[in-house]
Amino acid sequence: MNTKDDFSDLKAVYINCSIKKDKTGSHTQNLLNKSAKIMQSQGVEVQHIYALDYAIAFGMMQDGNTEGQKDDWPDIQKQIMQADILVIGTPIWLGVKSSVATQVIERLYAFSGEYNDAGQYAYYGKVGGCVITGNEDGIKHCAMDLLYALQHIGFTIPPQADCGWIGEAGPGPSYGDIEFNGERVSPDGTPAGYDNEFTDKNTTFAAWNLMHMAALLKVQGGIPALGNTKDGWKQVVNAQSENPEYR
């Protein structure tokens, strides 16, 4: 890549953290697809991962296989480390992100002690976002949970990096449903949420901002390695050196 306006060198991983074993039933995938298509249209290489297609071990280790658990996470981690952009998609259950999303964050966290060549946490230079769907309530709560975790382990969060869809309070159709309780969701066949301009706008903004920030960081070679490295932070002006005199 030569410039911050060229996205063709970027790679994005989209992880769908649905709790449905059968991925064809995931409504979250519908919105993930719209986001991914925007990126693909700009030349970004997109990889979709449906978490429940894999056996992911529980725990705060990097490879569960070493502990006797079947664990596909190391392969997933490899894909993420090769990507510039990570988008986590989750359904909302009882107002919070899914168990699968929680597990994905835990496994990402288990690698947060890894460093890049500059001595920064390994996720530095990557950008993170999220896509949330439910039929009822909780986009922002899930998003704050996911985006916080990502920035905490080293991802940069561009503006408006979250998007989602929910319907009016109460049970109802999910994103992309054409029928609900035996009735068509809309007379002309528009699936639930597909005509929601707010969701489309946020999804668009999120996708573009993730690309912009990823390209900016790639052109710059990541976050400059000063004041934020494992061994180096005490060599620059820091919170310890700036302690007031109190003795």
Q: In angstroms, give the least distance from the CB of 79 to a second copy.
A: 20
How many residues bind to a second copy according to rule CB under 8 A?
112
Chosen residue from 13, 57, 85, 214 binding a second copy by CB under 8 A: 57
CA distance 74 to 79: 9
Name the strand (E) or helix (H) holding 179.
Answer: strand 179-180
Residues 201-230 that bind a second copy (CB under 8 A): 201, 203-205, 207-209, 211-213, 216-217, 220, 223-224, 226-228
Quote the distance between the C-alpha of residue 151 and its chain's center: 11
Q: What are phi and psi of 156, to 5 degrees?
A: -95, 140
Chosen residue from 147, 174, 214, 218 binding a second copy by CB under 8 A: 147
- 69, exposed or middle or buried, with CB in 10 Å at 0-12, 13-18, 19+? middle
Where does residue 68 fall: left (phi above 0), alpha (psi -120 to 50 degrees), or beta otherwise? left
Chosen residue from 5, 53, 75, 179 binding a second copy by CB under 8 A: 5
Verify binding: residue 154, a second copy, rule CB under 8 A. Answer: yes
Q: In angstroms, give the least distance from the CB of 90 to a second copy.
A: 11
Residues 83-142 that bind a second copy (CB under 8 A): 93-100, 102-103, 105-106, 109, 121, 123-124, 137-141
> Is-contact 68 202, C-beta < 8 A?
no
Sole window of 8-16, 72-80, 81-89, 183-191 interacting with a second copy (rule: CB under 8 A): 183-191
